[in-house]
Structure 1
Amino acid sequence: MSDVISILSFLVALVGMVAAAANTCYLAILSSAANQRGQSGEATVTYVRGHRNLGVAFTVAAVAGFLLTLANTEALQIIGLLIAGGAGVAGYLALRGTQREFRGSL
C-alpha cells in the first residue's frame, strides 16, 4: 500500500507542478508580447502584473508539495499530494481564466 501511495502522490504532484508552472510561463509569455507592442499592450501588462504574484505562489506551493511527496512517510506524501494537487488545479483554473480574457487579442 505504501508503494501505491508513493507513486500516486508523486504523479499527482508532478502534474500539479507542471500545471502551476504552465500558468506562470503563460503569464511571462503574455507579458513579453505585450511589452513588444509598446503603449497598445499596456492594459495587458497591467493585468499580468496583477496576476504574476499569484501564479508564482501557485508554482512555489506546487514545488513544495512535490518535495513533500519525496518523504518516506505516508502522511507527508498525502499532504504533499493535497498541496501540489490543489496548487495545480488553482494554476490550471487561473491559466484558463487568463486565456479566456485574452483569446485572440494578441
Structure 2
Amino acid sequence: MGAVVGLVAVLVTIAAVLAAAGHAGYLALLTSAAKKRAGGQPAVEFARKRFPVAGVGLAVSLLALLISSGTSSIGWEVFAILLGGGSGIGSVKALQSTQARFRGGQF
C-alpha cells in the first residue's frame, strides 16, 4: 500500500513541477517576444507582475517533490500529493488565464 501511495505522490508532484515550469517558461517567452516588438511594454509589465505567482507555484511544487521523494511515511506522501496537486492546478489555471488574456486581443 505504501509503495502505491509513494508512486502516486511522485507522479503527481512531477506533473505539478512540469505545470509550474510551463507557466514560468510561457511568461519568459512572452517577455522576450514583447521586448522585441514596438508597443510590447504592457505585455512585459503584465508578465513581470505574474512572475511571482509562477515562482511560488514552482517553489511549492518542488517542495512537494522533495517531500514525496524523501519520505516513506504515508502521511507525508499524502501531504505531498495535496501540496503538489494544489500547486499544479493553480499553475495550470494561472497559465490558462495568462493565455486567455493575450488570445482575447486585450494587448
TM-score normalized by the length of structure 1: 0.93
Q: CA deviation at 1:78?
A: 1.0
Match of 1:78 in 2: 78
CA separation in 1, counterparts of 2:76 and 2:21? 22
User: Deviation above 4 Å: which 4+ runs of structure 1?
Assistant: none
Q: Is the contact between residue 2 and residue 72 of structure 2 (CA under 8 Å) also seen in structure 1? A: no
| CA deviation profile, 1:23-77 (whole Å, cap 9, x unmatched) | 0110000000011114x00000110011111111000000000111111211111
- Give the share of equivalent positions with the same residue, in percent: 29
SS at match of 1:21: helix
TM-score normalized by the length of structure 2: 0.92
CA separation in 1, counterparts of 2:66 and 2:78? 12
CA separation in 1, counterparts of 2:68 and 2:53? 23
Q: CA deviation at 1:104?
A: 7.3
Match of 2:98 in 1: 98
SS at match of 1:81: helix
Matched, 1:67 2:66: yes
CA separation in 1, counterparts of 2:74 and 2:49? 37
SS at match of 1:72: coil
Match of 2:53 in 1: 54
SS at match of 2:40: helix
CA separation in 1, counterparts of 2:16 and 2:29? 20
Q: Which runs of 5+ in 2 are unaligned?
A: none
CA separation in 1, counterparts of 2:84 and 2:24? 15
Q: Which runs of 5+ in 1 are unaligned?
A: none
Whichever residue aligns with residue 28 of structure 1, its letter is A
